[in-house]
């Protein structure tokens, strides 16, 4: 279990908002299941694993080779968490040496579509974001915390 993650999931307030958009629509308590899921799927390694597995079934070594900077331990932890959440399927083939493959589950495939929307938004707006960063950085130390 990830450090700081509660072992029991409590019921937190509903995240369904049928009225005006609420910036606090998900509970920020650590024991909120929605927050835990968002923390998991928004992790940079999880996003990369899901994106790569959308394309094809991959072995552990192939995933590690494709994901620059991920350690063996971190990739193992990420894959186990995604498998536990039902997003990734792990298949062990009974050969010598054992061959282990990973693929997205149908649920993981639905998440990939959502992630792709976020990537598309980022690609469309990256110029605006770059300009905003330059403007912010040019203000230097004049920008302070509130």
| Structure tokens belonging to residue 144 | 């302070």
Q: pTM, whole model, 2 decimals?
A: 0.69
Q: In the sheet that 58-59 helps form, which strands lie side by side, from edge to edge? A: 58-59, 99-104, 88-93
Angle (CA) 54 39 46, round 5°: 25
The DSSP string of 24-74 is T-S--STTBHHHHHHHHHTSHHHHHHHHHHHH--EEHHHHHHHSTT--HHH
Q: Give me the residue label for tokens 């995933």.
A: 63
pLDDT digits (tens, 9 = 90+) for 52-76: 999 899 999 999 999 999 999 999 9
Q: What pLDDT, on a 0 to 100 scale, did the predictor assign at position 1?
A: 46
| pLDDT score of 26 more than 80 | no
Distance CA 78, CA 95 (A): 25
SS3 label, residue 14:
coil
Predicted confidence band of residue 25 (pLDDT cuts 50, 70, 90): low
| pLDDT score of 20 more than 80 | no
């Amino acid at each position: 279990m990830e450090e700081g993650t509660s072992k029991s999931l409590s019921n937190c307030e509903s995240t369904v908002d049928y009225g005006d958009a609420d910036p606090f629509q998900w509970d920020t308590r650590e024991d909120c299941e929605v927050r835990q899921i968002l923390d998991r799927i928004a992790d940079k390694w999880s996003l990369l694993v899901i994106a790569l597995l959308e394309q094809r079934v991959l072995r552990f070594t192939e995933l590690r080779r494709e994901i620059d900077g991920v350690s063996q331990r971190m990739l193992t932890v990420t894959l186990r968490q995604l498998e536990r959440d039902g997003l990734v399927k792990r298949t062990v083939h009974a050969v010598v040496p054992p061959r282990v493959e990973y693929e997205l589950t149908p649920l993981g495939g639905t998440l990939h579509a959502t992630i792709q929307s976020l990537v598309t938004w980022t690609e469309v707006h990256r110029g605006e974001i770059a300009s905003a960063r330059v403007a912010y950085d040019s203000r230097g130390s004049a920008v302070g915390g509130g």
